[in-house]
Amino acid sequence: MRLLVCGGAGFIGSAFVRRMLAKHADWEIAVFDKLTYAGNLDNLKTVEADSRYSFVRGDICDREAVGGAIEGAGGIDAIVNFAAETHVDRSIDSPEDFLKTDILGTHTLLEVVRERGISRMVQVSTDEVYGSIDEGSFCETDRISASSPYSASKAGGDLQVLAYHTTFGTPALITRGSNTYGPYQYPEKLIPLFVTNALEGGQLPLYGDGMNVRDWLHADDHADGIEAALLSGRPGEVYNIGGGNERTNREITEIILDELGLSWDTTVKQVTDRPGHDRRYSISCEKAKTELGWQPQVDFEAGLRDTIRWYRDNEWWWHKIKHGTAEFADWRARWYETRG
């Protein structure tokens, strides 16, 4: 199997690359990544000497660059697309790049697949496209109802995939994963932000009442779900990939504080809520379990505590992200300093 993994220098893409190279001796992986603020070659350090791995810097909106990467790899069997702008808060702050990468970039990859007769594409999407649900769980045939510019852009990418399959027979399919946690996640997202802030003696900015619910999935389980869809999924289909671990943000915060031996009163600061903040995400993963034979393996509390310890023990990885350039400080100032 020869793969082009777009967005493979990000959090879940790099987990997928590391894990697939470890699991499959005969796979070759070319990573194609723009290296935005969220892309980081440190995430791929453990595979950089592996002759089955190569890296090309480029933008998925640039059709010629994608084609060049495919030719450079000597042809490919499939594209797995992780490349996206992924942070909901940044999509509220400045949505344009989300529309470009998440919609136009996906469209560009579909055109490349069509033009070159590539036999498979997996579009990595999100449970956020369904929006919030008070009770029960969304299944793949439910209506999409995106709330943020991020989820609307991901939904636009999903609709392109389904339309290309219907119109041109493009052999593409979609996975919709739930909130993912693990090592190497850019420290703008809830878990790495709270853990690294806590480790630096800073505050944990909990939005609103902290009772929003997310379904947490370990990055290794997410990678395995995408692998199962790549190997056994049907073109034109959608597969939900969730951890089955619904927790409020308060519960997540309590585990972080407990693991690090800190108290709520001195660290947590309740701040103005995110606009359009979805209350609860929940997906049914019966289709992935029965059709793909996939199910999550990582125990949530053990996985979260391991993850917290990984950030504690790998300050080299996150310290330069938070303090090595002005990028993170600018974001923090723009977003958090206005939230009373």
Which residues bind to ligand NAD, rule: CB under 6 A? 6-7, 9-13, 33-36, 38-39, 59-61, 82-86, 101, 105, 124, 126, 154, 177, 179-180, 186
Q: Which is nearer to ligand DAU, 37 or 207 (CB)?
A: 207
Q: Exactly one of 130, 150, 164, 281 is catalytic; which is it?
A: 150
Phi first, then psi: give them for residue 134, nearest 5 degrees.
-75, -40
Q: How far apart, in Å, are the Cα atoms of 88 and each of 155, 229, 234, 251, 327? A: 13, 25, 29, 21, 17
Helix (H, G, I), strand (E, B) or coil at 192: helix
Helix (H) or strand (E) holding 254: helix 249-260
Minimum distance from CB of 52 to ligand DAU (Å)? 28
Instruction: Name residue 72's amino acid.
Output: G
Which residues in 239-264 are b (16+ Cβ under 10 Å) and which e?
bbbbbbbbbebeebbebbbebbebee
Minimum distance from CB of 205 to ligand DAU (Å)? 5
Question: Is residue 127 annotated as part of the catalytic site, yes or no?
Answer: yes
- Determine the size of the site formed for ligand DAU (CB under 6 A): 19
Q: Considering the rule CB under 6 A, would residue 281 count as an interface residue with ligand DAU?
A: yes
Instruction: Confirm if 281 and 179 have CB atoms less than 8 A apart.
Output: yes
Structure tokens given for 250: 């308060």
Tell me which of 17, 29, 173, 193 binds ligand DAU, using CB under 6 A.
Answer: 193
Widest pairwise Cα distance in the chain: 58
Choose the one of ligand DAU, ligand NAD, none that binds residue 59, judging by a C-beta under 5 to 8 angstroms depending on kind: ligand NAD
Return d(Cα 15, Cα 288) in angstroms, integer.
20
Residues 214-233 binding ligand DAU (CB under 6 A) are: 214
Structure tokens given for 230: 């790549």
For the residues of 311-325, what is the DSSP string, one character each?
HHH-HHHHHHHHHSS
Choose the one of ligand NAD, ligand DAU, none that binds residue 10, judging by a C-beta under 5 to 8 angstroms depending on kind: ligand NAD
Minimum distance from CB of 293 to ligand NAD (Å)? 21
Question: Is residue 135 annotated as part of the catalytic site, yes or no?
Answer: no
Q: Which is nearer to ligand DAU, 189 or 287 (CB)?
A: 189
Question: Is residue 128 annotated as part of the catalytic site, yes or no?
Answer: yes
Choose the one of ligand NAD, ligand DAU, none that binds residue 197, judging by a C-beta under 5 to 8 angstroms depending on kind: none
Q: What angle do CA 261, 317, 263 make, to 5 degrees?
A: 15
Choose the one of ligand NAD, ligand DAU, none that binds residue 35, judging by a C-beta under 5 to 8 angstroms depending on kind: ligand NAD
Q: Exactly one of 128, 221, 224, 259 is catalytic; which is it?
A: 128
Give the residue numbers annotated as catalytic, written as ranges: 127-128, 150
